[in-house]
Amino acid sequence: MYMHVDMDAFFVSCETASRPYLKERPVVVATGHPKKGVVASASYKARKFGIKSGMPLYIAKSILPDIYIIQGNITKYAAISENVMNTLKKFAKDVEVASIDEAFMDITYYKNDPILLAKTIKKEIKRLYKLPLTIGIGPSKVVAKVICKKSKPDGIGMVKKEEVIDFMGSIKVQEIPGIGKKSAEILTKNGISTGRDLQNADTEYLQKLFGIRGIWFKRLAMGKDAGYFLTPYKDIIKSIGHSETLPYPTRDKEILMSYLLYLSIKVSKRAYRLKKMGRGISLHLRFSDFSSINKQKQISTYLYRYEDIYMAAKWLFNHIPIKKPIRLVGVTIHNLIPLDTHAELFSNKSTSDLLYNIYQKYGDFSVMPLSLLNINKLPKSIPPKVR
């Protein structure tokens, strides 16, 4: 038995938690330039007017001129997310964080009523953070995710084992997580438009259309986990990376170095949490014309501390000819091994160790290197949510 926990309009909810007077108004959190940005998150009241994530801000304003706009702060949302996920881990041993605002909880060994547990979790999250959330419960992750979406906002939904076939058979193929838009279009063109159609479809025919994914699609329609639902995130992680879209394209090296440092700290903190370190590093740059370049390097020692990650990323940056303004920067470490394997490398305390201890107690970026003030003055840019 699994729970899928999904925070409702997460970015907006993070903002309205401290400004309750906004809860009755249509609100959006915006990313990018104040005049040329896009909607990163919309409140449910705003969604009723057709405003949604990814919509250009000027269109949202044309639909609803008096809509309340808040410039997003991804650093704040990431810190709140981490606190929420840590709270969830108090209720289950196995919590798989799926994104900044959602997680799967394995409650197979929970002996009492799972609905009661869901109510307890919702009450605790609201007490601590004043954030609404929806919980779906089912005998597989895919079922829990589907019923969670159907129970939004601020609800609880549950599908029992004996109800799975009928429940999954009643939905459209595009509503099944793991089946993308193009795959759903191909299925529909071939007369497979519902979960029931997919349940009854010939397996060999599905394999001809999609290969191994055809088998996965049928399993998903049967309410069985397949594809990325099968393997916990912690077991398949092969790299650790973060990227950031700049508020506007720039060639200003001082600003770009600040972003490199910021991303290096983010990567290092995540490596610290996952107890990993890497032997390779890659730098991804996207330019103003949407062309991009990736450069990578193998390192003689393992990367874990932000100082080392930053120096390696800076070396890569200095070996890339910058002829156009940059709009996105990404830093990734790869060739990972467990941190404990070479723990002796980190026996001496560094600035990284001190920062992580502070962040754990007071929140991310509660203190920071002075050079990060270069990006603190700029509007924060929020990466799009991946589904």
Catalytic residue ranges: 102
Asked if 95 and 85 count as a contact pair (C-beta separation under 8 A), the reply is yes
- For 97-137, the DSSP string reads EEETTEEEEE-TT--S-HHHHHHHHHHHHHHHH---EEEEE
| Dihedral-angle region of residue 386 (phi above 0 means left; psi in -120 to 50 means alpha; beta otherwise) | beta
Largest CA distance in the chain: 64
CA–CA distances in Å: residue 221 to residues 48, 169, 232: 30, 7, 20
Which residues have C-beta within 8 Å of that of residue 108, sequence separation ≥ 6?
Answer: 1, 2
Give me 361's structure tokens. Answer: 């107690």
Q: Rg (Cα) of the chain, in Å, rounded?
A: 22
Residue 65 CB partners (closer than 8 Å, separation 6+): none
Are 189 and 170 contacting, i.e. CB atoms less than 8 angstroms apart? no
Chain CA centroid to CA 205, Å: 34
d(CA 261, CA 255): 10
- Which residues are CB-neighbours of 326 under 8 A, at least 6 positions away? 246, 249, 250, 251, 256, 285, 286, 287, 288
